[in-house]
Structure 1
Amino acid sequence: MIVHKIHVNNNVVRIGYVKNEDEIPQEYTLKSNELARPELYDAMQNIFTTRANSENCFAAGCYGDIEDITIKYNRENRVDNYVLSGTMYSDDGLVAAFKTGKIHVKCRTDLDIAVRSAVKEAELFIQGKRAQMTLDIEAESPASQLRGGIA
Protein backbone atom coordinates (compact mmCIF):
# COMPACT_ATOMS: atom_id res chain seq x y z
CA MET A 1 0.00 0.00 0.00
CA ILE A 2 1.28 3.46 -0.94
CA VAL A 3 -0.29 6.41 0.89
CA HIS A 4 0.03 9.57 -1.22
CA LYS A 5 -2.37 12.01 0.46
CA ILE A 6 -3.45 12.46 4.07
CA HIS A 7 -6.06 15.03 5.10
CA VAL A 8 -7.06 15.22 8.75
CA ASN A 9 -9.20 17.82 10.50
CA ASN A 10 -11.89 17.91 13.17
CA ASN A 11 -14.64 16.78 10.78
CA VAL A 12 -13.14 14.28 8.36
CA VAL A 13 -10.25 11.95 7.66
CA ARG A 14 -9.45 11.48 3.96
CA ILE A 15 -6.58 9.28 2.79
CA GLY A 16 -5.56 8.68 -0.82
CA TYR A 17 -3.65 5.49 -1.45
CA VAL A 18 -2.67 2.92 -4.05
CA LYS A 19 -3.16 -0.83 -3.61
CA ASN A 20 -1.55 -3.63 -5.62
CA GLU A 21 1.29 -1.33 -6.63
CA ASP A 22 3.37 -4.30 -7.84
CA GLU A 23 0.69 -5.87 -10.05
CA ILE A 24 -2.23 -3.76 -11.27
CA PRO A 25 -2.18 -0.53 -9.25
CA GLN A 26 -5.57 0.77 -8.17
CA GLU A 27 -6.00 4.18 -6.60
CA TYR A 28 -8.49 4.64 -3.77
CA THR A 29 -9.65 7.42 -1.50
CA LEU A 30 -10.97 6.55 1.92
CA LYS A 31 -13.15 9.26 3.43
CA SER A 32 -14.44 8.87 6.94
CA ASN A 33 -16.53 11.22 9.03
CA GLU A 34 -15.59 9.02 11.95
CA LEU A 35 -12.67 10.46 13.88
CA ALA A 36 -9.42 8.56 13.90
CA ARG A 37 -7.85 7.35 17.10
CA PRO A 38 -5.50 9.80 18.82
CA GLU A 39 -2.38 8.20 17.35
CA LEU A 40 -3.02 9.67 13.89
CA TYR A 41 -3.71 13.15 15.27
CA ASP A 42 -0.62 12.90 17.49
CA ALA A 43 1.51 11.92 14.49
CA MET A 44 0.23 14.92 12.52
CA GLN A 45 0.86 17.23 15.50
CA ASN A 46 4.36 15.81 15.88
CA ILE A 47 5.15 16.84 12.29
CA PHE A 48 4.29 20.47 13.06
CA THR A 49 6.26 20.43 16.30
CA THR A 50 9.28 18.87 14.60
CA ARG A 51 9.13 21.41 11.75
CA ALA A 52 8.66 24.36 14.13
CA ASN A 53 11.66 23.28 16.21
CA SER A 54 14.00 23.02 13.20
CA GLU A 55 16.51 25.71 12.28
CA ASN A 56 15.25 28.80 10.42
CA CYS A 57 11.65 27.65 10.48
CA PHE A 58 8.83 30.01 9.56
CA ALA A 59 6.78 28.65 12.49
CA ALA A 60 9.37 29.06 15.25
CA GLY A 61 7.62 30.05 18.47
CA CYS A 62 4.19 29.07 17.13
CA TYR A 63 1.93 26.10 17.60
CA GLY A 64 -0.34 24.62 14.98
CA ASP A 65 -1.78 21.74 13.06
CA ILE A 66 -0.75 19.88 9.94
CA GLU A 67 -3.94 19.12 8.01
CA ASP A 68 -2.57 17.85 4.70
CA ILE A 69 0.41 15.82 3.58
CA THR A 70 0.92 15.24 -0.14
CA ILE A 71 3.59 12.65 -0.86
CA LYS A 72 5.41 11.99 -4.13
CA TYR A 73 7.20 8.68 -4.69
CA ASN A 74 10.11 7.77 -6.96
CA ARG A 75 10.22 4.80 -9.35
CA GLU A 76 11.25 2.45 -6.54
CA ASN A 77 8.11 3.46 -4.60
CA ARG A 78 10.17 5.29 -2.00
CA VAL A 79 9.21 8.73 -0.74
CA ASP A 80 10.95 11.38 -2.86
CA ASN A 81 9.35 14.54 -1.46
CA TYR A 82 6.32 15.82 0.38
CA VAL A 83 4.37 19.03 0.89
CA LEU A 84 2.82 19.99 4.23
CA SER A 85 -0.06 22.39 4.79
CA GLY A 86 -2.04 23.44 7.80
CA THR A 87 -2.70 26.27 10.23
CA MET A 88 -0.42 27.90 12.75
CA TYR A 89 -1.27 30.08 15.73
CA SER A 90 0.83 32.51 17.73
CA ASP A 91 0.43 33.69 21.30
CA ASP A 92 -0.63 37.16 20.13
CA GLY A 93 -3.71 35.79 18.33
CA LEU A 94 -2.31 35.58 14.81
CA VAL A 95 -3.76 32.70 12.78
CA ALA A 96 -2.19 31.83 9.44
CA ALA A 97 -2.65 29.06 6.91
CA PHE A 98 0.55 27.77 5.39
CA LYS A 99 1.80 25.41 2.71
CA THR A 100 5.43 24.40 2.39
CA GLY A 101 7.27 23.95 -0.86
CA LYS A 102 8.50 20.49 -1.75
CA ILE A 103 10.54 19.02 1.09
CA HIS A 104 12.92 16.46 -0.37
CA VAL A 105 13.66 13.41 1.72
CA LYS A 106 17.08 13.44 3.28
CA CYS A 107 18.80 10.72 5.21
CA ARG A 108 16.72 10.06 8.33
CA THR A 109 15.98 13.63 9.44
CA ASP A 110 13.58 14.13 12.33
CA LEU A 111 10.98 15.63 9.98
CA ASP A 112 11.20 12.69 7.56
CA ILE A 113 10.78 10.27 10.47
CA ALA A 114 7.73 12.22 11.71
CA VAL A 115 6.14 12.12 8.23
CA ARG A 116 6.81 8.38 7.92
CA SER A 117 5.16 7.90 11.31
CA ALA A 118 2.02 9.70 10.07
CA VAL A 119 2.00 7.56 6.92
CA LYS A 120 2.22 4.41 9.05
CA GLU A 121 -0.72 5.62 11.19
CA ALA A 122 -2.71 6.33 8.00
CA GLU A 123 -2.02 2.79 6.79
CA LEU A 124 -3.26 1.41 10.11
CA PHE A 125 -6.39 3.59 9.82
CA ILE A 126 -7.09 2.25 6.32
CA GLN A 127 -6.75 -1.30 7.63
CA GLY A 128 -9.27 -0.51 10.38
CA LYS A 129 -6.73 -0.82 13.17
CA ARG A 130 -6.79 2.86 14.12
CA ALA A 131 -10.48 3.65 13.63
CA GLN A 132 -12.72 4.32 16.62
CA MET A 133 -15.11 1.66 15.31
CA THR A 134 -14.84 -0.89 12.51
CA LEU A 135 -14.69 0.72 9.08
CA ASP A 136 -17.16 -0.65 6.55
CA ILE A 137 -15.68 -2.45 3.57
CA GLU A 138 -17.79 -0.09 1.43
CA ALA A 139 -15.62 2.77 2.66
CA GLU A 140 -13.17 1.95 -0.14
CA SER A 141 -14.01 3.00 -3.69
CA PRO A 142 -11.81 3.53 -6.71
CA ALA A 143 -10.96 7.23 -6.90
CA SER A 144 -12.13 7.48 -10.51
CA GLN A 145 -15.66 6.42 -9.53
CA LEU A 146 -16.25 8.81 -6.61
CA ARG A 147 -19.38 10.90 -7.02
CA GLY A 148 -19.47 12.82 -3.73
CA GLY A 149 -20.78 11.72 -0.39
CA ILE A 150 -18.91 9.25 1.71
CA ALA A 151 -16.70 7.04 -0.41
Structure 2
Amino acid sequence: MSRRVAREKALQSLYQIDMADVPVEEAIRHVTEDGGLKDLSFLRKLVMGTEANLKRIDAVIGQYASGWELDRMASVDRNVLRLAVYELLHETDVPVSVVINEAVELAKAFSTPESGKFVNGVLGKIIRDLDILKGSQTNE
Protein backbone atom coordinates (compact mmCIF):
# COMPACT_ATOMS: atom_id res chain seq x y z
CA MET A 1 0.00 0.00 0.00
CA SER A 2 1.41 3.40 -0.90
CA ARG A 3 1.79 5.96 1.86
CA ARG A 4 -0.84 8.13 0.17
CA VAL A 5 -3.39 5.31 0.26
CA ALA A 6 -2.37 4.53 3.85
CA ARG A 7 -3.06 8.16 4.80
CA GLU A 8 -6.47 8.04 3.12
CA LYS A 9 -7.34 4.85 4.97
CA ALA A 10 -5.97 6.30 8.21
CA LEU A 11 -8.16 9.39 7.78
CA GLN A 12 -11.19 7.19 7.15
CA SER A 13 -10.37 5.14 10.26
CA LEU A 14 -9.85 8.23 12.43
CA TYR A 15 -13.13 9.67 11.18
CA GLN A 16 -14.99 6.50 12.20
CA ILE A 17 -13.33 6.50 15.60
CA ASP A 18 -14.15 10.17 16.11
CA MET A 19 -17.73 10.12 14.89
CA ALA A 20 -18.97 6.67 15.94
CA ASP A 21 -16.57 5.77 18.77
CA VAL A 22 -15.51 2.67 16.84
CA PRO A 23 -12.56 0.74 18.36
CA VAL A 24 -9.26 1.28 16.52
CA GLU A 25 -8.87 -2.26 15.19
CA GLU A 26 -12.47 -2.35 13.99
CA ALA A 27 -12.06 0.96 12.15
CA ILE A 28 -8.88 -0.25 10.44
CA ARG A 29 -10.52 -3.57 9.54
CA HIS A 30 -13.54 -1.77 8.10
CA VAL A 31 -11.52 0.50 5.78
CA THR A 32 -9.36 -2.40 4.58
CA GLU A 33 -12.06 -5.04 4.18
CA ASP A 34 -12.00 -4.81 0.39
CA GLY A 35 -8.72 -6.74 0.59
CA GLY A 36 -5.83 -6.39 -1.80
CA LEU A 37 -3.78 -4.44 0.71
CA LYS A 38 -0.54 -6.18 1.53
CA ASP A 39 1.27 -4.10 4.13
CA LEU A 40 -0.87 -2.37 6.73
CA SER A 41 2.03 -1.39 9.02
CA PHE A 42 2.15 2.32 8.08
CA LEU A 43 -1.65 2.59 8.26
CA ARG A 44 -1.67 0.96 11.71
CA LYS A 45 1.18 3.18 12.90
CA LEU A 46 -0.69 6.32 11.78
CA VAL A 47 -4.03 5.39 13.34
CA MET A 48 -2.67 3.91 16.56
CA GLY A 49 -0.09 6.67 16.97
CA THR A 50 -2.66 9.39 16.44
CA GLU A 51 -5.05 7.79 18.92
CA ALA A 52 -2.31 7.18 21.50
CA ASN A 53 -1.23 10.84 21.35
CA LEU A 54 -4.68 12.37 20.82
CA LYS A 55 -4.71 14.54 23.94
CA ARG A 56 -1.39 16.20 23.04
CA ILE A 57 -2.32 16.46 19.33
CA ASP A 58 -5.65 18.12 20.13
CA ALA A 59 -3.89 20.55 22.47
CA VAL A 60 -1.48 21.55 19.69
CA ILE A 61 -4.29 22.00 17.17
CA GLY A 62 -6.31 24.02 19.69
CA GLN A 63 -3.34 26.27 20.33
CA TYR A 64 -2.70 27.03 16.65
CA ALA A 65 -6.21 27.01 15.15
CA SER A 66 -7.02 30.51 16.36
CA GLY A 67 -10.69 31.20 16.63
CA TRP A 68 -11.61 27.53 16.20
CA GLU A 69 -12.60 25.02 18.85
CA LEU A 70 -11.96 21.42 17.88
CA ASP A 71 -15.56 20.37 18.34
CA ARG A 72 -16.70 23.19 16.02
CA MET A 73 -14.40 22.18 13.15
CA ALA A 74 -15.66 20.01 10.35
CA SER A 75 -14.91 16.47 11.50
CA VAL A 76 -12.92 15.63 8.37
CA ASP A 77 -10.78 18.75 8.81
CA ARG A 78 -10.22 17.95 12.49
CA ASN A 79 -9.06 14.44 11.66
CA VAL A 80 -6.85 15.56 8.76
CA LEU A 81 -5.16 17.94 11.20
CA ARG A 82 -4.82 15.22 13.83
CA LEU A 83 -3.18 12.89 11.35
CA ALA A 84 -0.82 15.59 10.07
CA VAL A 85 0.17 16.75 13.56
CA TYR A 86 0.89 13.16 14.55
CA GLU A 87 3.17 12.80 11.53
CA LEU A 88 4.89 16.14 12.15
CA LEU A 89 5.64 15.29 15.77
CA HIS A 90 6.35 11.56 15.54
CA GLU A 91 7.24 10.46 12.00
CA THR A 92 10.62 12.11 11.63
CA ASP A 93 11.44 10.23 8.40
CA VAL A 94 8.67 12.07 6.52
CA PRO A 95 9.59 15.55 5.22
CA VAL A 96 7.44 18.38 6.59
CA SER A 97 6.52 19.50 3.06
CA VAL A 98 5.19 16.02 2.26
CA VAL A 99 3.06 15.93 5.43
CA ILE A 100 1.54 19.34 4.65
CA ASN A 101 0.96 18.58 0.98
CA GLU A 102 -0.71 15.25 1.78
CA ALA A 103 -2.90 16.85 4.47
CA VAL A 104 -4.04 19.63 2.12
CA GLU A 105 -4.83 17.09 -0.60
CA LEU A 106 -6.79 14.92 1.85
CA ALA A 107 -8.77 17.93 3.04
CA LYS A 108 -9.61 18.95 -0.53
CA ALA A 109 -10.53 15.39 -1.53
CA PHE A 110 -12.64 14.47 1.49
CA SER A 111 -13.97 17.83 2.69
CA THR A 112 -14.45 21.16 0.91
CA PRO A 113 -12.18 23.20 -1.38
CA GLU A 114 -11.84 25.75 1.45
CA SER A 115 -10.70 23.00 3.80
CA GLY A 116 -7.37 22.77 2.01
CA LYS A 117 -6.67 26.43 2.78
CA PHE A 118 -7.78 26.02 6.38
CA VAL A 119 -5.59 22.95 6.96
CA ASN A 120 -2.64 24.61 5.24
CA GLY A 121 -3.03 27.72 7.41
CA VAL A 122 -3.15 25.82 10.70
CA LEU A 123 -0.25 23.54 9.76
CA GLY A 124 1.75 26.56 8.56
CA LYS A 125 1.48 28.08 12.04
CA ILE A 126 2.41 24.78 13.69
CA ILE A 127 5.55 24.21 11.62
CA ARG A 128 6.91 27.62 12.66
CA ASP A 129 7.15 26.23 16.20
CA LEU A 130 7.75 22.59 15.28
CA ASP A 131 11.17 22.33 16.95
CA ILE A 132 9.75 23.80 20.16
CA LEU A 133 6.75 21.45 20.03
CA LYS A 134 8.97 18.44 19.45
CA GLY A 135 11.21 19.53 22.32
CA SER A 136 8.35 20.05 24.75
CA GLN A 137 7.12 16.56 23.94
CA THR A 138 10.19 14.97 25.46
CA ASN A 139 9.68 16.97 28.65
CA GLU A 140 6.13 15.76 29.24
- Please tell me the TM-score bracket, short chain as reference: 0.3 to 0.5
Normalised to the residue count of structure 1, the TM-score between the two structures is 0.31
Normalised to the residue count of structure 2, the TM-score between the two structures is 0.33
Which is strand-richer, 1 or 2? 1
Which is helix-richer, 1 or 2? 2
Larger RCO of the pair (alpha carbons < 8 Å, separation 6+): 1
Rg larger in 1 or in 2?
Answer: 1
